[in-house]
Amino acid sequence: MVNQPAEVFDVVASYFSLLSEPMRLRIMHAVCEQEKTVSQIVSELGATQTNVSRHLSLMHRSGVLARRKEGNQVHYRAADAAMVEICRSVCDRIAAQMDERKPLRRELLRLMPRRKPKPRPA
């Protein structure tokens, strides 16, 4: 008999492994607030199209990103709000542990995706 709890943790670990690659974090940051084409992402990150496309494909297959084709352009956007929130929470945590005077802390806070305001009850 298969150890089902172990399989569950394998699936969870696989989800978190998406965050273990710096390029995927950079891609997530690039598309977390607005949809972008592959060319825009490549330009923004200063990476090769081959490298970015490989990561985009993996992130799309995992359900973290959504894509749509428009002519010969492929557009990507964040499809998993939980992943965006995880990234934001981790950045908050790291920034809170840094000395306020350190430039790295300021840069981290500047790059963090903004929280979307919660709708007010009517």
What are the chain's domains? 4-111 (1.10.10.10)
Q: Are 83 and 27 in contact (CB under 8 A)?
A: no
Q: What's the pTM?
A: 0.78
pLDDT in tens, the chain (122 residues): 456 788 888 988 999 998 899 999 999 989 988 999 999 999 999 999 999 999 999 999 999 999 999 999 999 999 999 998 898 888 888 878 877 767 777 777 776 666 555 555 55
Cα–Cα distance measured from residue 107 to residue 30, given in angstroms and rounded to the nearest whole number? 15
Residue 36: name the closest of 72, 78, 95, 87 by CA.
78
Helices (DSSP H) in the chain: which residue ranges? 4-17, 22-31, 38-45, 49-61, 81-97, 103-111
